[in-house]
Structure 1
Amino acid sequence: MFFILFALLMVMPCAFSGKVSTKPGLKMFRDEYKSFTQTCLDLGFAKNSCNSDKVVFHVTLSKNLYNLARLGRVVFEAVDLNEGKGYDPSTGIFTVPAPGVYVFDWTTLNQVGKYALTSLVVNGTYRSQVYCDGNVNTHLSCSKMTILKLKQGDQVWIGIFGGTHGNSYMVKNYTSFSGFKL
């Protein structure tokens, strides 16, 4: 069983790349197992264990944000990863594509003397906050991780939960938002 699983993991990239191997063992393996799904079933895995239905995203700011309004939404435009297509860079909202337990993480980098009062927002409810007070003589980085059980269609984003208009500032490239399904 272990050998079959090992062989599967070693040849799977080649099997789907369209390249034909000249090695007889790989050709025989590919001929014997016609599809990825059938291979998973043959090995005794449930369909969902082998399907490539991963949900994971990582996004960053592409420009500095300042003068953030209280109860506003942070829109991360630079998409580094968006498997499952749950994150919408035009709105800053992650829409849960499948029910389950999700892990979210966000990091802000403040300008000297500025702050970022951010929260993970789920369906309009502020769930987990970070108070990042930049009242120091250097840039300040703050992070938070939150684990939630969510339903399909739930909407998640990073929002601004407080502060006075004009005193907030988040630095591009260093401010990010990530999430994945366990």
Structure 2
Amino acid sequence: METLADVFFGWMFLVTNSEIVDAVVRFHACFSSKTRPYSQETVYAKRLSLRAKHSPIYFVNVYMSSSNECFPLFLLFLSHFLTTVIPETPQQIVTKYSDYKAICSGLGYRDRTCQSKGIAFQAVLIKSITSLGVQKPVIFEKVTLNEGSGYDATTGKFTAPEDGLYSFSWNVLVLSGKAFHTEIVKDGKMVARNYADGKIVKSGLYLASSSTVNIKLKSKEKVWIRVHLNFGQYVYGDHWSYFSGFRIN
């Protein structure tokens, strides 16, 4: 039948180094009444046989049914076990970091995973525009939403605050007999176009045309609406024409 010494011997070699081998052997001798230390071969064999066999609970159970003559050495083992084997508590882990940002970084997440806010904007056209030049940006001057502060009402351009996939929509209202073809561009490169030709409607009526696109952006890249070629004849304002966008993820 195994004694507490056998169980203790195996556990001490799981959590200690060679510098306390003699103390372990003395402790084993205390429980087993052996008068001389184990040989090096016996020590190695016991380490292999006991490494995966016993738990701390089993160790305590054996001790409780054994003699308490070696109680001081048991306390020494227990103290060493608690300080080297038992992992940090959740509170200790939180205390280890100064704030939630540090916790995110320590776990390998980017900053925005913990504290990113929503990114969305919407701007409308107040004043109607006539004869806008070739590929000139359409400036939707009234901002009704600008979460993330990405849209600039002075330039009509949206600058991505963060990397991500974004969705953009725009609408134009044109007068009969006039055209206002537009395109959405990413850093000057055309992504998609919108066709709005008022010649197809009766005199005195209006035609509305809208488009939606999804664009993958890196931080600081810009998106805006501009005139397609020289088809910037007329676009109606008064909140009828608008430009909006938001980050999907």
TM-score, structure 1 normalization: 0.70
Residue 152 of structure 1 pairs with residue 219 of structure 2: yes
Q: Distance in 1 between matches of 2:227 and 2:177?
A: 18
**Displaced runs of 4 or more, over 6 A:** none
Q: Give the partner amino acid of 2:247.
A: K
Larger Rg: 2
Q: 1:134 aligns with which of 198, 203, 220?
A: 198
Q: Give the partner amino acid of 1:130.
A: N
Secondary structure of residue in 2 paired with 1:109: strand
The alignment-based identity, stated in percent, is 36
Note the C-alpha offset of 1:154.
0.5
Q: Give the partner amino acid of 2:240.
A: Y
Q: Higher helix fraction: Structure 1 or Structure 2? A: 2
Q: Distance in 2 between matches of 1:108 and 1:101?
A: 24
Runs (5+) with no aligned partner, structure 1: 1-36
Q: Distance in 1 between matches of 2:247 and 2:178?
A: 33
Specify the alignment match of 1:143 in structure 2: 210
Specify the alignment match of 1:66 in structure 2: 130
Q: Give the partner amino acid of 1:148.
A: I
Note the C-alpha offset of 1:50.
6.2
Residue 162 of structure 1 pairs with residue 162 of structure 2: no
Structure with bigger RCO (C-alpha 8 Å, 6+ apart)? 1
Residue 56 of structure 1 pairs with residue 120 of structure 2: yes
**CA-atom RMSD in angstroms:** 1.9
Note the C-alpha offset of 1:49.
5.7
How many pairs align?
Answer: 138
Contact 2:185 2:191 in 1 (8 A): yes
Note the C-alpha offset of 1:109.
0.4
Task: Tell which deviates more after alignment, 50-59 or 68-77.
Answer: 50-59
Q: Distance in 2 between matches of 1:131 and 1:163?
A: 13
TM-score, structure 2 normalization: 0.52
Note the C-alpha offset of 1:69.
1.0
Specify the alignment match of 1:11 in structure 2: none
Contact 2:135 2:230 in 1 (8 A): no
Specify the alignment match of 1:5 in structure 2: none
Q: Higher strand fraction: Structure 1 or Structure 2? A: 1
Deviation by residue 1:114-154 (Cα, 9 ceiling, x = unmatched): 11110001101111001111102120000000001111111
Q: Give the partner amino acid of 1:153.
A: K
Q: Distance in 2 between matches of 1:99 and 1:73?
A: 23
Specify the alignment match of 1:175 in structure 2: 241
Deviation by residue 1:48-98 (Cα, 9 ceiling, x = unmatched): 466351110000011111111111100111000000000000111101110
CA 164–95 in structure 1, closer or farther in 2 if over 3 Å, else same: closer
Q: Distance in 1 between matches of 2:175 and 2:247?
A: 32
Q: Distance in 1 between matches of 2:175 and 2:114?
A: 44
